[in-house]
Amino acid sequence: AATSERTRASLDWAPVQPGLIADIDRPRYFET
């Protein structure tokens, strides 16, 4: 959760769907 919060803060963008938040929390999201 801390990773997604940092991402939303730095990008000034917040995903609306819980599914997107789950994807962001996965390390694979950043590797892709």
Domain spans of the chain? 2-31
Any residues with CB less than 8 A from the CB of 25 and at least 6 apart, and which?
A: 1, 3, 4
- Whether residue 14 is predicted with pLDDT greater than 60 in this model: the reply is no
pLDDT for the residue 5: 72
Q: What does the mean pLDDT of the chain come to? A: 63
Number of H helices, E strands in the chain: 3, 0
Amino acid at 3: T
Average pLDDT on 9-25 reads 61
Distance CA(30)–CA(3), nearest Å, equals 11
First to last CA, the chain: 19
